[in-house]
Amino acid sequence: MISSLIIPLVVLFVIIYAIIKKVPVYDTFIEGAKESFDMILKLFPCLLAMIFAVNILTKSNIVANLFGFISFVPNEIIPLIIMRPISGTSSLAILTTIYESFGPDGFIGTLASYIQGTTDTTFYILTLYFGSVGIKKIRYSLWAGLLADLVSITISILFVSFVL
Amino acid sequence: MVNKIWGFFIIIGIIFCLFTDNVDVINNEILNSCKTALDMTFKIFPVMALWLGIAKIAEVSGLLKKLSLKLSGILKFIFPEIPKGHQSLSYISSNIIANMFGLGNAATPFGLKAMQSLQELNTKKDTASRSMITFLVLNTSGVTIIPTTIISLRMMYGSVDPTSIVFPCIIITFTSTFIGLIIDRILARLS
């Protein structure tokens, strides 16, 4: 399928382009890969904190009891939807707990992958970007951002339900 | 925001377990989450390192820059308020390209530069301009071509075909970005 071709083709293209431009590909690769140490050190505490909190919440079954009335959205996905606009690492942690309980390939696993892949951390981006230039009146931007997330989630659900 | 929600998750979870006589679950989960977090970190790490290496090559060879130049042509339609050739367009396109490659950390500095540059065009300095909000919508609807982290997580949990989500994600992300931009225009008219 097309999906399995995209990554090899991107890698091939990047390397060929770099060799034509006379970039020392090996050295550059190593330099880039080194940056992952920093990222992983920052990531671990956030992951631990969130996996801890989300596991307690989901295993207590309260979500299923409380949100059972929203039949359009599967219960298992609700913690992901709540956390996704707020924090990237947290939603990643929730995604892990979903994969662990339901596997990555079923209805729930695929839906969670789509939602994580097609939305972003609206609150975080809003705070960071507007904060950096001193904007205080954000007008309709929060609504626009959250509606865009909601559209992504809705299309993801439709896509998994009808195409998978 | 995160602080409140994090505390809220734990408090609600434990109290509910106490009421439903399920305390053993909590004891298990406290130990389990440490193991899961460590497993996950070790398994994402190599994939992340690999992808950051490839991305560095794309950056140093000037490929990212070249793609950004191509994109700024399209951006004229999405940001009609920005004058032609303004530098904010190139920052915005660099930000989008970095996001497409799944490089959240590389995208943020470009995003901040873009905001500064848009602020120069802004007439009311404490109020968000229309272009700024459009830019945020583009960012929050998450235009990603290669969701690296998700693929590595799927591998780790034994997915039959970890990369099968790539193509659907592209379709979903482009549709929702398109609808998001329409919503943005409608809200801009209303306000």
For A88-114, letters b (16+ CB in 10 Å) and e give bbbbbbbbbbbbbebbbbeebbbbbbb
Nearest CA in chain B to A12: B54
Answer whether residue A39 shows pLDDT above 80.
no
Answer whether residue B1 shows pLDDT above 60.
no
Query: What count of Cα atoms within 13 Å lies in the side-chain half-sphere of residue A152?
Result: 35
Give residue-wise pLDDT tens across range A76-130.
888 888 888 877 777 888 898 899 889 999 999 999 999 998 888 888 788 888 8
Answer whether residue A1 shows pLDDT above 60.
no
What is the number of domains present in chain A?
1
B191 touches chain A (CB under 8 A): yes
Examine residue A8 and state whether it is found in any structural domain, yes or no: no
Residues of chain B neighbouring A39 (CB-CB closer than 8 A):
48, 52, 105
Paired strand residues for B127 = A137
Collapse the DSSP code of B170 into the 3-class scheme (helix H, G, I; strand E, B; otherwise coil) and give the result: helix
Examine residue A51 and state whether it is found in any structural domain, yes or no: yes
Give residue-wise pLDDT tens across range B69-113.
888 888 888 898 898 878 888 889 888 888 887 776 667 778 888
Return the pLDDT at B86. Answer: 85
Residue in A115, A107, A118 with CA at minimum distance from that of residue A164: A107
Q: How far is CA A4 from CA A16, A79, B147, B151, in A?
A: 20, 30, 13, 11
Mind telling me how many Å the CA of B84 is from chain A's nearest CA?
22
Examine residue A26 and state whether it is found in any structural domain, yes or no: no
**Residue B94 · residue B65 · CB < 8 Å:** yes
Examine residue B4 and state whether it is found in any structural domain, yes or no: no
Examine residue A153 and state whether it is found in any structural domain, yes or no: yes
Q: Which domain holds residue A88?
A: 44-162
Examine residue B111 and state whether it is found in any structural domain, yes or no: yes
- 3-state helix, strand, coil split of chain A in percent (to 5) is 80, 0, 20
Amino acid at B38: L
Examine residue B97 and state whether it is found in any structural domain, yes or no: yes
Examine residue B56 and state whether it is found in any structural domain, yes or no: yes
**Tokens (6 digits) for B34:** 């440490």
Q: Which domain holds residue B90?
A: 45-190
Which residue of B25, B61, B152, B161 to mutate against A (max A Cβ within 10 Å)?
B61
B176 touches chain A (CB under 8 A): yes
Examine residue B90 and state whether it is found in any structural domain, yes or no: yes
Q: Which of residues 85-104 of A touch B (CB under 8 A)?
A: 85-88, 90, 92-93, 95-97, 99-100, 103-104
What is the number of domains present in chain B?
1
Return the pLDDT at A127. Answer: 83
Cβ–Cβ gap A156/B9 under 8 Å:
no
Examine residue B29 and state whether it is found in any structural domain, yes or no: no
Examine residue B2 and state whether it is found in any structural domain, yes or no: no
Examine residue B28 and state whether it is found in any structural domain, yes or no: no
Q: What is the DSSP letter of B116?
A: H
pLDDT band of B129, cuts 50, 70, 90: very high
